[in-house]
Structure 1
């Protein structure tokens, strides 16, 4: 058996502390690199691919509830257009949200803002809304027909799959032809949604992305899709 030689008095050789110090700095350096790369990747993903949003209101119940964390695809906009039935996040067009409280200041607010920016925390949705697209540019959207249904380009839409169970398709009648390049949106909780019925349509350039999944809380895990309610709608004339 080969035994380690130990200096007299059991003390380490003079170079050992320096080796430990160098090893410690190496670990710290590697950790810093991993953290920076992780934050960089998270930021790139948030900016170009997907982003998490926190649902702040009841306007999309029961599809989305207050406190749900929903994932929004940005890349889908780069490879395809917004379609009828899509649930989209968009920047407030012209004061739909009304006066907004100022963001939390100080160090706490800055830290929260930073982690939201890099995607570690879900965006609290300030300055953004989430609704369902029911009309594209050129579409004629009307409500309600003799059966109480929404119609798009003359085709009645069965919205039972997503409209809030006790709600009608709309509490007020309307007929709108959507301008080219704009979208007409409604909340799924029709009796509790400030949407295009009140504010009108808006430019499709304001869309941030399409919602595709609820990821939190775990009990709410589910996909968010356009469904097939609008499949039979013809292009506008």
Structure 2
């Protein structure tokens, strides 16, 4: 009868069967080369998710943003905050899709490798139909610039010496305005004004040169390459000044209206509870 036991104590004190047949066999480790495709797949998936939802690299193809950005710089663009309702703000450097008519030459057809790398964010957009400029005015603002003068936003003069290309004038090559920027749109200009075909030069298009917020890919936050030019891209102090925003009529927002409507209900309920307890 003892021969029918499958897990008896004989092996515990060293007597009888040594139990070697019941010991789990060590798992054979998979070859690194068999694991490699899985690792590459995970890495590509993560890169695609990061490029789609978080950060994407873009290459600077022109000199329109000098000296802030040089031709050949690689910038990282924040694509996350727009998912939470963030909209472009004055002073930010943003990347946006060509709304139509800004880039006159069709983009060269990418080869398979360029297309693949662009899809995972290791190269700029394959179609190359993106531009990068600085936001000067947002929806509701009035912007203008006269020859020999400076840019004015809502009647406030901008001191652009901190980012304007040395020797560049604010708008002598193309004065404009006053222009009222429609809600949900932005007015953009390059830092190298005499070498930038920006909003000033596209006023004949729908929107009078302004860009829809939905065309904005994201905000450029850092120069990542070359290493020697690594730097952040903060909003210049001139855009933080008090009174630059357009005057607005104070209105009760949804939150305030909801609170006003809820207060009588809460007070009524408290009164009923007090009467019941009495």
TM-score by length of 1: 0.83
Taking the aligned partners of 1:120 and 1:98, their CA distance within structure 2 comes to 26
Contact 1:54–1:124 (CA<8 Å) still a contact in 2? no
Contact 2:223–2:232 (CA<8 Å) still a contact in 1? yes
Query: What is the aligned counterpart of 1:204 among 209, 213, 234?
Result: 213
Q: Tell me which residue corresponds to 1:143.
A: 145
Deviations 1:20-77 (CA, angstroms, capped at 9, x unpaired): xx86x63222111111101100000000000000000011011111100000000122
Residue 186 (str. 1) matches residue 186 (str. 2) = no
**What secondary structure sits across from 1:84 in the alignment?**
coil
Contact 1:151–1:157 (CA<8 Å) still a contact in 2? yes
Query: What is the aligned counterpart of 1:234 among 245, 259, 267?
Result: 245
**What secondary structure sits across from 2:238 in the alignment?**
coil
Shift of 1:115: 1.2
Shift of 1:190: 0.2
Residue 49 (str. 1) matches residue 54 (str. 2) = yes
Taking the aligned partners of 1:167 and 1:78, their CA distance within structure 2 comes to 36
Q: Tell me which residue corresponds to 2:114.
A: 112
Taking the aligned partners of 2:127 and 2:68, their CA distance within structure 1 comes to 17
Contact 1:142–1:174 (CA<8 Å) still a contact in 2? yes
Q: Tell me which residue corresponds to 1:152.
A: 153
Taking the aligned partners of 2:90 and 2:127, their CA distance within structure 1 comes to 22
Task: Name which one, 1 or 2, has greater alpha-carbon Rg.
Answer: 2
Shift of 1:125: 7.0
Taking the aligned partners of 2:237 and 2:168, their CA distance within structure 1 comes to 20
Asked which structure has the greater RCO (Cα within 8 Å, sep 6+), the reply is: 1
Pairing 1:7-86 to 2, within 5 Å after superposition = 26-79=31-84, 80-86=86-92
- The CA RMSD measured in Å over matched residues stands at 1.8
Question: 1:179/1:156 Cα in 2 relative to 1: closer, same or farther (>3 Å)?
Answer: same
Deviations 1:114-155 (CA, angstroms, capped at 9, x unpaired): 012112334467100000000111110011387x22110001
Deviations 1:96-117 (CA, angstroms, capped at 9, x unpaired): 011224313xxxx111110121
Residue 90 (str. 1) matches residue 96 (str. 2) = yes
Shift of 1:234: 2.3
Long gaps (5+) in structure 2: 1-27, 203-208, 249-278
Contact 1:186–1:197 (CA<8 Å) still a contact in 2? yes
Contact 1:56–1:124 (CA<8 Å) still a contact in 2? no
Q: Tell me which residue corresponds to 2:170.
A: 169
Pairing 1:219-230 to 2, within 5 Å after superposition = 219-230=228-239
Query: What is the aligned counterpart of 1:100 among 95, 99, 106?
Result: 106
Question: 1:124/1:167 Cα in 2 relative to 1: closer, same or farther (>3 Å)?
Answer: farther
Q: Tell me which residue corresponds to 2:276.
A: none
